[in-house]
Amino acid sequence: MEKELDKVVEEIMSTPNVAGCLVADHQGLCLASKGTAHVDSAGLIVAISEQACKIEPNLKPPTVCLETDNKQCLIQRHGTITGAVFKQKGVA
């Protein structure tokens, strides 16, 4: 089971400009992490996605994007699983 998840994480990490990737369950427990994504952020990432879901509870979970000048953090929830991708911006 973990092999499948590791394969997905590897695939995401091989995408250009991706610096880190994290997958967590609904309790905020880290299922997989790679690159700059820290295991300790799992709870926070799930909390952010849950908070964003509260805005429109009747719609499917939104994608949250947190941006700094040169980095991006994309958070998306799918069922009970939340994924986060940390990206570098600007390098085309």
Q: Cβ of residue 45: shortest distance to other proteins, in angstroms? A: 7
Q: Which residues lie near other proteins (CB under 8 A)?
A: 19-20, 36-38, 40-41, 44-45, 47-48, 51-52, 54-56, 59-60, 62-69, 71, 73, 86
The span from the CA of 23 to the CA of 41, in Å, is: 10
Angle at 61 between CA 57 and CA 67, to 5 degrees: 115
Q: Cβ of residue 55: shortest distance to other proteins, in angstroms? A: 6
Q: Cβ of residue 88: shortest distance to other proteins, in angstroms? A: 10
Question: By C-beta, is 8 or 66 nearer to other proteins?
Answer: 66
Cross-strand bridge partners of residue 22: 33, 84
The span from the CA of 53 to the CA of 72, in Å, is: 20
Question: By C-beta, is 4 or 16 nearer to other proteins?
Answer: 16
Going 23 to 14 to 89 to 60, the CA torsion angle's sign is: negative
Question: By C-beta, is 4 or 49 nearer to other proteins?
Answer: 49
